[in-house]
Amino acid sequence: MTLATIDIGGTGIKFASLTPDGKILDKTSTPTPETLEDLLAWLDQRLSEQDYRGIAMSVPGAVNQETGVIEGISAIPYIHGFSWYEALAHHQLPVHLENDANCVGLSELLAHPEIENAACVVIGTGIGGAMIINGKIHRGRHGLGGEFGYMTTIEPAEKLNNWSQLASTGNMVRYVIEKSGQSDWDGRKVYQEAAAGNALCQEAIERMDELAMRQIDFLFVINYQATKAIVLPIDTIDSSVLRFSFNGKGNDTELKNIPFNDIVWNCCPPTASDYKAKMEALQQQILHGNSYLANLTQPIGIETNLSLLNIYNASTAKYKLWVNDMMVCFSPESFVTIDHNIIKSYPMKGTIQGDSDAAIQQLLDNKKETAEHATIVDLIRNDLSMVANNVSVPRYRYVDKLKTNKGALIQTSSEVKGTLLPPYINKPGTVIFKLLPAGSITGAPKERTVQILKDIENYDRGFYTGVMGTYSRGIVDSAVMIRFIDIHNKKMTYKAGGGITSQSKWQEEYNELIEKTYVPICRND
């Protein structure tokens, strides 16, 4: 059973196919058409592409759910004053309409059923809102409950304004167009341009470089999108809030036994069909030449009797980080090391269960894994060439063995080495941010693949696949933040993934995704 979901906005129209449990199968969008005829034609085309069981629509304005008429006014005048039930009747599907801001309110209620009374404000082309009273959406007598955007404002006093006119994304875009003299702006472009000069990360770069210049040891943790960063002098770190151990050095390096004889470890991965759909969409991009290798990741629900601190304490990983019961990382993969003017990277690609010679040979002989590893090594060589010369590969595809709570794992890595160019010596912040995101957890070509993954993965990686590391007296030791668990809304989520090529088989990749959902500790026997 597949549902067609439609969001009508003043800037764009979004369309997605959903399973009843809310999993997105595919999605697309288009700029808002200038006429109703064009909008209906586009919807008819989307609705004809597969067999749907119903249509759900999120729309601006006051919705009369009995008649299917969108009343009131909005940024799209032509969608008002007629029955959408009749306009879509030829599809012979049930149609449900809801005000777009009310949809936001309903999603909050779904995620937080304990909410009794709340107000939601939605900032888009205009400003809308939703009122939650006694745990239910309050529509008001005329369906205008929560229409905050039409509230008048006192300032500026030159003319009568409402909130939407002053503070909406639409007004922001109009302001940018006026100031720039260019008309090709939309909300997404404004935010992308703002992110390109992210003040926080510029500050992080400067702070890392300054601390290095002053020879102050420090720790850094940077998220995948390079939009959030933690930079702390090591002697200021409170171990009750943050603990780390990188290659046996840190503020809490002692292994501690976990207080359980039996470890409960249950995974709730995405369904096989959901993973298959995402991987096939990714392989279509590869077949079209938009990517050669892409690291597809997914969130996996975890049920365990271990706390994040338990996992940190008992983990045997080379790189460990615990942050205030928000996240824990136990990574086996180095990102870069810097020893004064020598920089090295250790891309890791290829994983198989077991520890026997036969398992090692099986991994080394796998053509897909071989091609994937070669692609990543080449990508990392190119990345290091941005900050170094004399880039070489002293060690290619060596084997590491790991012990986990689920048994032994075998992984393959390579060593890539170069000599830092003079402008980058003793500037670890500049070097690290220049190389982000890590090639091993994105793909090739990197920039295009990152965008493809964002569209297909459809979740926020957060700090997962970011980087963490330390600086001390001219030496940087850093890791890619894989093997990662975080907690949101009291739910523990493991994030894992693997490289996808044109040769990848979805069943094998799905099994590998589950295999990687481990903690590097051994059961008590």
pLDDT tens figures, 77-95: 899 999 999 999 999 999 9
The CATH number of the domain holding residue 264 is 3.60.120.10
Task: Answer yes or no: do 475 and 408 share one domain.
Answer: yes
Among the ranges 144-158, 299-313, 371-385, which has the highest mean pLDDT value?
A: 299-313
Q: Classify 117 as helix, strand or coil.
A: coil
Is position 524 within any domain? no
Task: Answer yes or no: do 319 and 450 share one domain.
Answer: yes
Could you read off the pLDDT of 476-505 as tens digits, one per residue? Answer: 999 999 999 999 888 999 999 988 988 889
Backbone angles phi and psi of 291, in degrees to 5: -155, 160
Q: Classify 422 as helix, strand or coil.
A: helix
Instruction: Specify the higher pLDDT residue, 142 or 279.
Output: 279
Task: Answer yes or no: do 275 and 386 share one domain.
Answer: yes
Domain end (from 152, 170, 196): 196
Is position 521 within any domain? no
Q: pLDDT confidence of 407, banded at 50, 70, 90?
A: low
Task: Answer yes or no: do 205 and 181 share one domain.
Answer: no
Say if residue 156 is preceded by a cis peptide, omega within 30 of 0.
yes
Instruction: Specify the higher pLDDT residue, 161 or 475.
Output: 475
Query: What total number of domains does the chain contain?
Result: 3
Interior/surface letters 375-399, b for 16+ CB within 10 angstroms, e for the rest: bbbbbbbebbeebbeebeeeeebee
Q: What is the pLDDT of residue 419?
A: 96
Sheet holding 118-123, edge to edge: 118-123, 127-133, 136-138
Among the listed ranges 85-94, 323-332, 347-356, which one has the minimum average pLDDT value? 347-356
Among the listed ranges 348-357, 398-407, 454-463, which one has the minimum average pLDDT value? 398-407
Task: Answer yes or no: do 180 and 207 share one domain.
Answer: no
* Averaged pLDDT, 289-314: 92
Q: pLDDT confidence of 510, banded at 50, 70, 90?
A: very high
CA 17 to chain centre: 20
Backbone angles phi and psi of 113, in degrees to 5: -60, -15
Among the listed ranges 7-21, 37-51, 391-405, which one has the minimum average pLDDT value? 391-405
With a cut of 70, say whether residue 417 has pLDDT above it: yes
The share of the chain scoring above pLDDT 70, in percent, equals 89
Domain end (from 196, 229, 254): 196
Q: pLDDT confidence of 372, banded at 50, 70, 90?
A: confident
With a cut of 50, say whether residue 109 has pLDDT above it: yes
Interior/surface letters 196-223, b for 16+ CB within 10 angstroms, e for the rest: eeeeebeebbebbbebbeeeeebbbbbb
With a cut of 80, say whether residue 410 has pLDDT above it: no
With a cut of 70, say whether residue 512 has pLDDT above it: yes
Q: Could you tell me which of 379, 365, 364, 409 has the C-alpha nearest to residue 294?
A: 379
With a cut of 50, say whether residue 420 has pLDDT above it: yes
Q: pLDDT confidence of 524, banded at 50, 70, 90?
A: very low
Residue 129: CA count within 13 A, CB half-sphere:
19
Task: Answer yes or no: do 113 and 19 share one domain.
Answer: no
Is position 31 within any domain? yes
Q: What is the pLDDT of residue 154?
A: 64
Is position 520 within any domain? no
DSSP result, 263-292: --EEEEPPPHHHHHHHHHHHHHHHHTTS-S
With a cut of 80, say whether residue 381 has pLDDT above it: yes
Task: Answer yes or no: do 218 and 83 share one domain.
Answer: no
**Other CB atoms within 10 A of residue 304 CB:** 19
Among the listed ranges 55-69, 157-171, 296-310, 364-378, which one has the minimum average pLDDT value? 157-171
Q: pLDDT confidence of 157, banded at 50, 70, 90?
A: low
Q: What is the pLDDT of residue 197?
A: 53
Query: Residue 450 is part of which domain span?
Result: 199-515
Q: What is the pLDDT of residue 525?
A: 43
With a cut of 60, say whether residue 405 has pLDDT above it: no
Among the listed ranges 41-50, 187-196, 262-271, which one has the minimum average pLDDT value? 187-196
Report the mean per-residue pLDDT for the chain. Answer: 86
The CATH number of the domain holding residue 54 is 3.30.420.40
d(CA 271, CA 299): 11
Among the listed ranges 165-169, 214-218, 222-226, 507-511, which one has the minimum average pLDDT value? 165-169
Q: What is the pLDDT of residue 76?
A: 87
Could you read off the pLDDT of 162-173 as tens digits, one per residue? Answer: 777 777 777 777
Do the beta carbons of residue 331 and residue 483 sit within 8 Å?
yes
Could you read off the pLDDT of 219-277 as tens digits, one per residue? Answer: 999 999 888 899 999 999 999 999 999 999 999 999 888 777 788 899 999 999 999 99
Task: Answer yes or no: do 327 and 431 share one domain.
Answer: yes
* Averaged pLDDT, 54-62: 90
Task: Answer yes or no: do 370 and 246 share one domain.
Answer: yes
Is position 525 within any domain? no
| C-alpha dist (Å) from residue 226 to 91, 330, 468 | 45, 20, 12
Instruction: Specify the higher pLDDT residue, 178 or 507.
Output: 507
Question: Would you state the structure tokens that stand for residue 487, as one six-digit string?
Answer: 């907690």
Gap between the terminal Cα atoms of the chain: 46
* Averaged pLDDT, 197-211: 80
* Averaged pLDDT, 410-435: 91
Task: Answer yes or no: do 19 and 160 share one domain.
Answer: no
Do the beta carbons of residue 70 and residue 61 sit within 8 Å?
yes
Domain end (from 64, 98, 132): 98
Length of the chain: 525
* Averaged pLDDT, 32-49: 92
Is position 412 within any domain? yes
Q: What is the pLDDT of residue 392?
A: 93
Q: What is the pLDDT of residue 351?
A: 65
Task: Answer yes or no: do 148 and 229 share one domain.
Answer: no
Task: Answer yes or no: do 176 and 210 share one domain.
Answer: no
Question: Would you state the structure tokens that stand for residue 68, as one six-digit string?
Answer: 């299917």
Q: What is the pLDDT of residue 402?
A: 62
Sign of CA dihedral 83, 145, 171, 29: negative
With a cut of 80, say whether residue 450 has pLDDT above it: yes
